[in-house]
Structure 1
Amino acid sequence: MRDTVTVAPFRNTGAAAVTGVSLDASVTTRCRRRVHLDHDPAVADAPRALPDPSLEQRRADAREHRDRVGELLGAAHRDLWATVPGDAPARERAEATAVAVAAGAGLVWNAQLPRDRAGGRRGGAELLVRVPGGGYVPVLVVRHRVTDPGQGALTSPLLEPFPGRARPDPTRKVRSQPRDLLRLAHLTRMLGAAGWAPPADVAAAATGGVVGLDGDVVVWHDLTVEHWPGGRSTMAEYDARFADRVAVAVAATTGGPALALPSRVTECRRCPWWPTCEAELADGQDVSLVVRGEAATALRTADVVTVAQLAAMDPTEEPPVPLPGMAFADTVALARAWLRGLSVVRRVPTVPVTRADVEVDVDMESFGEAGAYMWGVLLTYPGGARAGDEPAGYRAFATWEPVPTDDEARSFAEFWTWITGVRDAALAGGRTFAAYCYNEQAENRWLLGSAERFAGRPGIPPIADVQAFIDADSWVDLFAVVNEWFLCAHGKGLKRIAPAAGFAWRDAEAGGENSMRWYRDAVALDGGTPDPVQRIRLLEYNEDDVGATRALREWMTSPAIENVPLAADL
């Protein structure tokens, strides 16, 4: 993971056993600096972010999902089933798991593996499956999607959680989930250390399964397949990452030179250590405050470590090192903007944005991956309204039944019928039409997914019609416009950019994570009575989101845009 500054090579020398460092699989996808801080006794009292309520809720939802899957499997395989108490201390759970394994249980639920002290590993699996030839393979139960529509994934029915039952699936393809693969590799190493893994000559060796959000199949993975960058297998990728994280943790525990220094990455937004790292980065004007990821790492190799150093460079010259993902002139302009406190600068004097006689702003609200419960629209007539037109303004097509629900079909069909009706009426009258969203990835996914999931229901369009809508020039992603024509020193999210256009949300807590909590109360997802106040809050939040996209494009095509500095003038 190129996510923090590596200041020394790493070697796995077995120091984990000496120092008592014990890591779970999550470290393989975690920022290396966070691993350091988690093990550095010197920062025990350093500032940390408050716990994220949405994270705790996601964990609770994941537990409920695992429990449901476990109940189904246990009821179907009483003769093979052994359950380890989930609320017992780790040591007792490991002992209970060992008893079940020694008894030859076919399926062990809530398994806690013995600590691999020599390797520095700890962890457990939702399910261990005994395979012909002896030994166990791990199966994970996760609350995210592990397949997409397609073909080729190796799956077995949920109630047949055995790798020997896996067959190529004609309706599913594997969705990339590196964290799941690396956790399976971690558990495979732990099973080997415990003496519980299948012999190397058994077909199921180095195999693991995952039950995803849909909870109807087990997706099986061969961990020896070489599909990682550089042709590495999952096992090889895991071994390299885990050895590195062990070295980082050991250095922190023993007070040795830190093997990772702070650098701003995407993970920082939700990391409890961000207040500590942010203060250190800001104090040194670290270059990652402007250019993240591999670009920041590359600049450091050329001794460009501060924002001021980057801002002082000549943008017309060749960069000191190749910079992935961004033009060198843009990085210099971003640094100069950051130093001047500018959140947005223009790349061009005039920003090209598609405008139309009839315009519709669209914003979809989903509850995680469970379903899309609302399609909000804002209709305006820049070319003037005509007799018989739909009234201008905001409206929402929503279901207040907890998703997933068949009632999504109704709300989606109503939305689709409305928006295509507005489009067709505009074109029939010789007017132009455009619909707008901010970052079309989510809307496109649920447009296509809803058409596929509810195919054949009243008002549900053919997938080809939905794809044609998405492919048309009249479907405009304003995020793509911002990404192409602006440089944003503090991020490109709608709530970062719309204030530059003078727009403000009514709710001070407006945001995707908070809306998840509001939705739970609005539909009484946790029991009790649905809260109508939270429904109103969600509707207002959605209305403000479409209002923000309207304000954004009107600002970009108005004389006010000239007040935004040009990058070339910085």
Structure 2
Amino acid sequence: MARALLLTGYDAKRCARRIHNEWDPAVEVVPWEVPAELQMRFDAGIAFEESVFAELVAELGPDRCIDLSDVRGKANAVARTLAAMDEGIEVILGGWLPDDIVGGRTGKPDVLLRVASGRYVPGDVKGHKVMTRRAKGTLTYSTFSAPGTQLQVDGLAAVTTGRFDDHLQLAHYWRMLEAIGRAPDGPAVGFIIGRDNVPNLALSGRVLTWLDLEVPLFETYSRTQGKAKRSALERYDHEQGFRLKVATTAAQGEAALVEPVFTDECDSCPWYDHCRGLVGDDLASAHITAGRLSVREWTALASAGVKDVADLADLDVDDQAFRASYLPEVTHLKDPLGRLRDAVRRARMIRDGIILERTTTGPIVVPRADVEIDFDIEWDPDDRVYLWGALVHRAGAEPVYHPVVSWSELDADGCVAHAEAFAVWLRDQIAAADTAGESLLVYHYSHPEPSYLKRLLGEDAVADLLDRFVDLLALVREHYFGVRGLGIKQVAPAFGFEWRDDEAGGLQSQLWLIEARAAEDEVVRDAGRARILRYNEDDVRATAALRIGMSGKTQDDGE
């Protein structure tokens, strides 16, 4: 008997080719070992969800809230969810809705909230932030103690386009509630509980952020108008309907409706190797990994005969015939020609083996000082900075690496104390330079270093330090274009720098920290710690390589 064709709450936001692969009986299912970094993200999401569930249960009590997460078996979980609805339980956690056979849906919303007798709205717990500051914005929210009472506050707003996937998932669950007659009358809504910390709205800092699924917020392609704004429900119905066609076609063994197009999603997809095997080595979307184009852009290019890296590298963006066929397909996007020009440039760099390309001429003015400190931080999966690393350069002396590190798990107060210890050390360096009549500057790459200092210690409290900071990323952006983007791991090799660890990376270092903290064997623990310190030292040495390389001076030319 053929299995029922049912798509999950995630499928409407997933790659359509992945849906085909999962439903095509002729495609061999290959074992997939989840990469350690991705598994760490999964684990962090599960832990966050568990903490939110525990807080809701503690706040509401057993009469108002039930947690069904531990119920085993789909049929049993569905029955318990429906029974809880019939009992009028206000908040149902970890439930499972009955399959919507007609709509082709299955799903397990994290939260179901009763808003009227027998009527519920869906909610989901997400391990990311879902609100933003907006001067003219208004955030609709509710607290854990009164989840059904909507409140509003000015100056904040729910993130829309940046969290489009959240909207789609809630729309999926809304349609499932409609299918069983459990959705309330009135506008379609749902909520997300994210990682936002807003203690001015709730003592715990956590709230339910409400989303309206019927307001046209999302600008999309329109065949008749070029572009049009549509609601989350409209977008969901379109995406779900198309993926049902894709899955149905695949299940029937017919030719695929979609060919592989590589996007950010592919980097963590179990079908990546399968799709790469289908397209060969030269498909442009598989090679352009920074400034990636959308599926619609790649599809429009393919229709114009542009598929491989060589095709893209040779493309004349200003050709009027090409523009006439291409632009109508992407008119809903912001600056489609600018995006395409960048992709063409990257294709040419890939073809020519270029990592980094200068965009300006003449000398690059890099602020220099008698004492130069390259600075980089590391934080753990709980977003707590445990390592403040610095490389101190003084004229006539070898650079000295100085880490301010805590291997113990830090709480909020510990993070502040640890940041203060680094600030004290840095002020000592500044005072010594001032006494010696020397200038001193601190170099970092991108915003995390000053941002964490300001967040932990207060902007006014570290203003004297920030006056000494130089963000090298701003200089790199001004003068260079990178084939893989302008992250330091992508840029530093162009200046001759290589990390000693082949697996160097921020998320990877978090895994090393977890392993080192958990290790009972002292040798294993010390090896893990040494690996982290070596990685951080390489990060600051990479910053030094950029600073010296851009200024045209080598290490031996003096700092």
Q: TM-score range by the shorter chain?
A: 0.7 to 0.9
Counterparts of 1:535-550 in structure 2, within 5 Å, are 535-550=529-544
Q: In the TM superposition, what is the alpha-carbon distance from 1:117 to its structure 2 partner?
A: 1.0
CA distance in 2, matches of 1:313, 1:73: 56
Q: With structure 1 as the length reference, what TM-score do the two structures score?
A: 0.79
Q: Is the 8 A contact 1:370 1:403 kept in 2?
A: no
2:57 corresponds to 1:74: yes
Choose from 436, 446, 470 the match for 1:475. Answer: 470
Relative distance call for 1:371 and 1:298 in structure 2 (3 A) is: farther
Partner in structure 1 of residue 190 of structure 2:
208
Aligned residue type for 2:42? R
Structure 1 segments unaligned to the other structure (5+ residues): 1-17, 386-390, 451-459, 561-570
Partner in structure 2 of residue 158 of structure 1:
144
Partner in structure 1 of residue 352 of structure 2:
340
Partner in structure 1 of residue 445 of structure 2:
438
Partner in structure 2 of residue 7 of structure 1:
none
Q: In the TM superposition, what is the alpha-carbon distance from 1:93 to its structure 2 partner?
A: 0.7
SS of the counterpart of 2:116?
A: coil
SS of the counterpart of 1:363?
A: strand
Partner in structure 2 of residue 195 of structure 1:
181
Q: Deviations over 1:58-103 (max 9, x none)?
A: 3233333333332333343222233325351222211211122222
CA distance in 2, matches of 1:228, 1:327: 20
Q: Is the 8 A contact 1:371 1:403 kept in 2?
A: yes
Relative distance call for 1:537 and 1:134 in structure 2 (3 A) is: same
Q: Is the 8 A contact 2:6 2:104 kept in 1?
A: yes
CA distance in 1, matches of 2:286, 2:320: 20
CA distance in 2, matches of 1:316, 1:141: 46
CA distance in 2, matches of 1:225, 1:539: 50
Q: Is the 8 A contact 2:114 2:148 kept in 1?
A: no
Aligned residue type for 1:220? W
Choose from 85, 103, 109 the match for 1:119. Answer: 103
Partner in structure 1 of residue 389 of structure 2:
376
Q: Deviations over 1:336-361 (max 9, x none)?
A: 33223333343345462523114332
Identity %: 30
Aligned residue type for 2:366? T
Aligned residue type for 2:211? H
Choose from 503, 506, 514 the match for 2:500. Answer: 506
Aligned residue type for 1:272? P
Relative distance call for 1:402 and 1:199 in structure 2 (3 A) is: same
SS of the counterpart of 1:28?
A: helix
Q: Is the 8 A contact 1:281 1:289 kept in 2?
A: no
Q: Is the 8 A contact 2:44 2:381 kept in 1?
A: no
CA distance in 1, matches of 2:483, 2:428: 40
- Structure 1 range deviating more: 407-416 or 69-78: 69-78
Q: Deviations over 1:351-379 (max 9, x none)?
A: 62523114332222222453333222222
Q: In the TM superposition, what is the alpha-carbon distance from 1:107 to its structure 2 partner?
A: 2.3
SS of the counterpart of 1:64?
A: helix
Partner in structure 2 of residue 228 of structure 1:
218
Q: Deviations over 1:471-504 (max 9, x none)?
A: x7952232x4444533433454332332332222
Aligned residue type for 2:172? H
Counterparts of 1:478-493 in structure 2, within 5 Å, are 478=473, 480-493=474-487
Partner in structure 2 of residue 454 of structure 1:
none
Q: Is the 8 A contact 1:49 1:272 kept in 2?
A: yes
Counterparts of 1:172-187 in structure 2, within 5 Å, are 173-175=157-159, 176-187=162-173
Relative distance call for 1:283 and 1:54 in structure 2 (3 A) is: closer
Relative distance call for 1:69 and 1:285 in structure 2 (3 A) is: closer
CA distance in 1, matches of 2:65, 2:361: 68
Aligned residue type for 2:148? P
Partner in structure 2 of residue 567 of structure 1:
none
Relative distance call for 1:94 and 1:414 in structure 2 (3 A) is: same
Partner in structure 1 of residue 26 of structure 2:
42
Relative distance call for 1:414 and 1:296 in structure 2 (3 A) is: farther
Q: In the TM superposition, what is the alpha-carbon distance from 1:187 to its structure 2 partner?
A: 0.9
Relative distance call for 1:282 and 1:403 in structure 2 (3 A) is: farther
Partner in structure 1 of residue 459 of structure 2:
463
Partner in structure 1 of residue 124 of structure 2:
140
Partner in structure 2 of residue 11 of structure 1:
none
Relative distance call for 1:351 and 1:326 in structure 2 (3 A) is: farther
Counterparts of 1:553-568 in structure 2, within 5 Å, are 553-558=547-552
Q: In the TM superposition, what is the alpha-carbon distance from 1:328 to its structure 2 partner?
A: 6.3
Relative distance call for 1:334 and 1:67 in structure 2 (3 A) is: closer
Q: In the TM superposition, what is the alpha-carbon distance from 1:423 to its structure 2 partner?
A: 5.7
Choose from 36, 40, 43 the match for 1:53. Answer: 36
Q: With structure 2 as the length reference, what TM-score do the two structures score?
A: 0.80
Counterparts of 1:511-526 in structure 2, within 5 Å, are 511-524=505-518
Relative distance call for 1:99 and 1:131 in structure 2 (3 A) is: same
Higher relative contact order (CA 8 A, sep 6+): 1
Choose from 197, 202, 207 the match for 1:217. Answer: 207
Structure 2 segments unaligned to the other structure (5+ residues): 198-203, 220-227, 328-334, 555-559
Aligned residue type for 2:171? A
> How many residues are treated as equivalent by the alignment?
516
Q: In the TM superposition, what is the alpha-carbon distance from 1:559 to its structure 2 partner?
A: 7.9
CA distance in 2, matches of 1:51, 1:519: 19
Partner in structure 2 of residue 402 of structure 1:
409
Q: In the TM superposition, what is the alpha-carbon distance from 1:422 to its structure 2 partner?
A: 4.8
